[in-house]
Amino acid sequence: MNPAEQPHGHPHGHWHGLGHGHSHGLPSFSLPRPQWNRLREGGRGRWLMAALAVWVASGLYIVSADQQAVVTRFGAVVEPRVMPGIHYALPWPVDSVTKLKVRQYQRAVIGGEAPDAVLGRLQPLASQFLTGDQNILHLRVVAQYSVAVPADYLYRSAGVAQLTAAAVESELARRVARRTVDSVLTTEKMAIQEEVRAGAQKVLNGYSAGVQLASVNIESATPPPEAADAFRDVASARADSARIVNEAQGYANDVIPKARGEARQMLEAAAAYRLRKANEAAGDAARFTQVAAEYSRAPEVNGRRLYAEAMEEILPRIKKLIAGSGGHLDLTIIRKADESKAKP
């Protein structure tokens, strides 16, 4: 074969047809084995580098605004609380990231769920509580809690929900046992709820449960069905008693101010009357003293004058008959005057 007819750049290469003995087919090109091995090893290296980069980048993670995260390394906690944002941890299987929704409230129910009560599936043993006066009440309580310490919530207790419910139930039984049935049903409900929340939170903190109790609500407090009628009668009597007391208090509030006003008015009138009479008596005494002084100076003249003044006041108010000097009196005048008055 003429060297000029060999392919350029590949002195050791060969042109082959598509089939044996066919010189007119398309040519195929094959590299020598050492070069092919080098190319294959280079491609494998690039794939390994890309896989390594992806593995390293997988350590990036995002904690949303309502979450917190816990990072563990080979099972041991290395970051107990990771706040919201973009963070990096060593890729799996070195580090493991667990995210928790710390702003989401969870429920723990004591005494049975609401659908059970609606469908008649009651749990009497779970909802019965003994009061301080030896009465039984059926209570249904709902406690709401959230994650406070993520690491403690995940790894300190195997059943946080059960632990929370047990703590609330024990505190509820303790608080109810210190009160009468009437106070639990009426006036002490709010106080019991707050005391149970504070006491249960203290117990959970002692166990490092990592939860924060938001509220404890007594949703229902009812007597046993066997004593429901008696409790209703007592409640009705209590309501009647409260109504009567309120009405009496209202009447007292209306009457007492009026009585006090009238008493004050009478006292003021009595004081004015006393002052007036005292002034009048003082004036009469002063006038009498003056008259007595003048009378002592001329007793006869003043005596006549006083007599005349007295008769001047008295005589116009009485019926008078005047007899002559002879002592004779005509009684027909009196009789005619009486007859004239008797006629209509």
Structure tokens at 183: 């106070």
205 has a pLDDT exceeding 70: yes
Taking only Cα atoms into account, the Rg of the chain, rounded to an integer number of angstroms, comes to: 58
Per-residue model confidence as pLDDT tens digits over 246-272: 999 999 999 999 999 999 999 999 999
pLDDT at res. 336: 61
Average pLDDT, the chain: 80
Does the pTM of the predicted model rise above 0.85?
no
The CA-CA-CA angle for residues 49, 51, 54, to 5°, reads 110
- Is the CB of residue 132 less than 8 Å from the CB of residue 177? yes
- Give the pair of three-digit tokens for residue 341: 């008055």
DSSP code of residue 7: P
Specify the pLDDT at position 18: 39
3-state secondary structure of 138: strand
What residue segments make up the domains of the chain, in order of their start?
A: 60-100, 106-231, 245-318
Alpha-carbon distance of 304 to 37, in angstroms, equals 171
Q: Where are the beta strands (DSSP E) in the chain?
A: 60-63, 67-73, 76-82, 85-88, 95-101, 106-110, 128-130, 136-147, 211-222
Asked whether 138 and 128 are in contact (CB, 8 A), the reply is yes
Angle, CA of 318, 319 and 321, to the nearest 5°: 130
* 113-150 confidence digits (pLDDT tens): 756 655 555 566 778 898 988 888 889 999 999 999 99
Residue with tokens 């002692």: 206
Identity at 62, one-letter amino acid code: I
| CA–CA separation, 69 and 243 (whole Å) | 58
Both tokens assigned to 237: 């009597």
Q: How many CB atoms lie within 10 A of CB 209?
A: 23
Q: What's domain 106-231's superfamily in CATH? A: Band 7 domain (3.30.479.30)
Separation of alpha carbons 39 and 54, rounded Å? 23
| Calpha distance 274→268 (Å, rounded) | 10
Q: Terminus-to-terminus CA distance in the chain, angstroms?
A: 185
Least confident of 78-82, 219-223, 230-234, 317-321: 317-321
- Report pLDDT for 22: 43
**pLDDT for residue 27 is more than 70:** no
Q: How many residues does the chain have?
A: 344
Q: Quickly state the pLDDT bin for 337 (edges 50, 70, 90).
A: low
Q: Determine contact, residues 192/175, Cβ cutoff 8 Å.
A: yes
